Amino acid sequence: MLVILKRDDEEISRQAAQLIAGTVQRNPDLRLGLATGGTMIGVYKELVRLHKQGTLDFSRVVTFNLDEYLGLSATHPQSFHHFMREHFFAHVNIAASNIHIPDGTIRSNYDQYCAGYEEAIHKAGGIDLQLLGIGRNGHIGFNEPTSSIGSRTRLKVLSKETLDDNSKFFAPGEESPRCAITMGIGTILEARKVLLLATGAAKAAAVAKSIEGPVASAVSASSLQLHSDVTFIIDDAAASQLTQRDYYRRVMEMTALLTPERLS
Ligand code: PGA
């Protein structure tokens, strides 16, 4: 795994967008796995900027989002459908028919719906590049602690920590969703390349456990150690509990020298 250390959110957004843009330019038919959350806002902003500059064409790109809250319609301001439209899809030329986000309004036959989502990924040829955030509890997508490392897209009950983190985004008195539809860890591990972004001290423990701890279902992101092509891009605060920071810096320098394509 490649660990790229950056100073702050702005540098992370620029580096991640550069990596995604380079991948799209090399493969205009890219199957791109997308994530939501505060960490992603700067990345989408930068991708939109590159698109508006005329250097980035998404017309043939196919997207698959990781997850959606159960019970929220696409128009709900806290839905991930809404997030994606507001921060990205409304500003770039991705064909509506190429966008896939789990439907939060389904009421029954969850297993069948989730199998259909997996099938859509499979039919598209699999995900080439999967973008990920990380929760304070180490979740990726909504794969809460103790999710099976082999798990697939499914209905998932949200943890107390995630409910607490998310409740602030909902109106006072409004009940926040307790469940979500999420790609599984097994689904994520099948992406050809994975890019995980983390910022801020609140993520430091989860980041350290994911990169330097044992692989354990208690920390879903630690399962990425099993993947052959993972890049973490993290800021100083999120990196503060890593013990091998000097080594990661040396690897970064050598990567820039020997295999610079891994950074762009
Ligand atoms: P955040 O969410 O970017 O809003 O911190 C990340 C996550 O929970 O996956």
pLDDT of residue 95: 97
pLDDT tens profile 72-98 = 999 999 999 999 999 999 999 999 999
Residue 246 contacts by C-beta under 8 Å, 6 or more apart in sequence? none
Element (H, E) at 6: strand 2-6
Whether residue 189 has its Cβ less than 6 Å from ligand 1: no
pTM of the predicted structure, to 2 decimals: 0.97
* Percent residues over pLDDT 90 in the chain: 93
Q: How confident is the model at residue 214 (pLDDT cuts 50, 70, 90)?
A: very high
Q: Give residue-wise pLDDT tens across range 224-240.
A: 999 999 999 999 999 99
Q: Is 77 in the pocket of ligand 1 (CB under 6 A)?
A: no
Q: What is the 3-state secondary structure (H, E, C) of 60-129?
A: CCEEEECEEECCCCCCCCCCHHHHHHHHCHHHCCCCHHHEECCCCCCCCCHHHHHHHHHHHHHHHCCCCE
Residue positions annotated with a catalytic role: 67, 137, 139, 144
Q: Which residue puts its alpha carbon closest to atom 1 of ligand 1? A: 37
Q: Is 37 in the pocket of ligand 1 (CB under 6 A)?
A: yes
Distance 40 CA to ligand 1 centre (A): 8
